[in-house]
Amino acid sequence: MKDVAARAGVGLKTVSRVVNGEPGVTLETESRVRAAIEALGFRRNDSARVLRKGRTASIGLVLEDLADPFYSPLSRAVEEVARANGSLLFAGSSAEVPEREQELALALCARRVDGLVIVPASEDHRYLEPEIAAGVATVFVDRPAGRIDVDTVLTDNAGGARDAVAHLIAHGHRAIGFIGDTEGIYTADERVRGYHEAMASAGLPVDEGWVSMGPTSPERVRSELDRMLSGPAPVTAVFSGNNRVTVTAVRVLADRPDPVALVGFDDFELADLLRPGVTVIAQDPVRLGRTAAELLFRRLDGIAEPPRRVELPGRLVARGSGEIPPPSA
C-alpha cells in the first residue's frame, strides 16, 4: 500500500479510501490510485489481512431472488464454505434487475468484502474490473459473466434440456411443449436451445405455438399451458423450464381430466410424493454453491491461475410424470 501511495503521490488513507470505496476522494485522484494499483499489481488479498485487523472477514453473495428455493441451498452451501474459511456471508438479491445487481455488488465492495459470488442479472460486468484489480476475488455461478474473464460454475443447461426432451420422445411423444423463463436469461436461453436441438435431432418439427418464454408468474404459465393443451396442434407432453414453472404446471395438469406427461428442469421438495411423482432434470445447487465458494477462497489464498469454467451435469430423475405415454399411443 505504501508503494501505491508513493506512486500515486497520495497518502495511505487515500489509497485505503479508494480500495474500500469510501467517499472523499476526487475522481482524478481515484484514477491515479487505480492506475498505481494496476501498475504495481497490488493485490487486495495482501492488504486485506491488514485492513481486516479488528474486523471480521466477509464475502458477498449477489443472487437473483432470496425467495427462490433453487437459490436457498446454493446460498447455504456458499455460507458453509465461507464459515469454514473464517468468513461471514452477506447476501442480497438483484430481483433480475441489472442495475440492482451492480448497485449491490459495488455496495458490498464498499463494505470491504474480500470476495464476491455472483448470480448475474446483467450482461456486462466491466464495472467490476476496478474491484477485481484491487484484489476482490470474484466467481460467477449459475450464469456466466459478461465481458470479463473470471471463474465460473455452471450447470450444463442445454445438455439437461436435451436429456429431458429426449426422454419424452423415447416415451412416444411427438408434440412437446416448452415453457421457459424470460428470454435473455442465460439459463432460459440455454434450455430452449437444448429443447430445439433434441427435437431437431429426432427429426421432429416444432409448431410455433409450442414454445413460450416469459415471466414465471403462475398466471402466465397457466394461460400458456392451457393454450398449448387445447389449440389446433395440442401438445401431449410438457417440458417446464425451471422449478417455478414446474410447480404451476403440476397444479394446472392436476386439474385436467387426462394425464399429460411432464418433465421439469430443477428438482424440488416433495416432487417424489406427488401422484404421479414429478420427473425432473435435477441440478445440484449445493455443489454449484460449494464449488463457487471454494474457487473464491482459492483465489483469496493467492492461487494465481487462469480463470476456470466448471460445468456440472444435470441428472434425470424419473418419477412417473415424464413416463406417461401420449393418449392414443
Q: Which of 15, 18, 33, 91 is in the footprint of a second copy by CB under 8 A?
A: 91
Check if the beta carbon of residue 59 is closer than 8 Å to that of residue 116.
yes
In the list 5, 22, 193, 214, the residue contacting a second copy (rule: CB under 8 A) is 22
CA-CA distance, 295 to 80, in Å (whole number)?
A: 14
User: In the complex, what is the shortest distance from the CB of residue 203 to a second copy, in angstroms, rounded to a whole number?
Assistant: 36
> 218-230 and 243-254 helices cross at what angle (nearest 10)?
50
Window 261 to 300, contacts with a second copy (CB under 8 A): 268-270, 273-275
Least Å distance, CB 134 to a second copy, is: 16
Return left, alpha or beta for 113; rule: phi > 0 is left, psi -120 to 50 is alpha, else beta.
beta
For a second copy, which stretch binds (CB under 8 A), given 61-69, 181-189, 199-207, 308-316? 61-69
DSSP tally for the chain: helices H, then strands E: 12, 12
Residue 136 CB, nearest approach to a second copy (Å):
15
Candidates 41-49, 59-67, 144-152, 306-314; binding stretch for a second copy (CB under 8 A): 59-67
Cα(262)–Cα(285) distance, rounded to whole angstroms? 22
Using the contact rule CB under 8 A, the part of the chain among 33-41, 51-59, 118-126, 212-220 near a second copy is 51-59
Q: Does 27 interact with a second copy (rule: CB under 8 A)?
A: no
**Shortest gap between Cβ of 91 and a second copy (angstroms)?**
5
Site membership for a second copy, residue 30 (CB under 8 A):
no
Interacting residues with a second copy between 203 and 242 (CB under 8 A): none
Q: Which listed range, 71-79, 120-128, 184-192, 200-208, lies at the site for a second copy (CB under 8 A)?
A: 71-79
8 Å CB contact between 125 and 131: no
Among 6, 12, 84, 88, binds a second copy (CB under 8 A): 88
CB-count burial class (<10 Å; 0-12, 13-18, 19+) for 31: middle
With binding defined as CB under 8 A, does residue 250 bind a second copy? yes
192 vs 186: CA distance, rounded Å: 10
3-state secondary structure of 4: helix
Helix spans in the chain (H)? 2-8, 12-19, 27-40, 44-51, 71-84, 98-110, 129-133, 157-170, 186-201, 218-230, 243-254, 285-300
In the complex, least distance from residue 100 CB atom to a second copy, rounded to whole angstroms? 8
Give the footprint of a second copy on this chain (CB under 8 A): 21-24, 53-56, 58, 60, 65-69, 72-73, 75-76, 79, 83, 88-93, 95, 103-104, 107-108, 110-112, 247, 250-251, 254, 268-270, 273-275
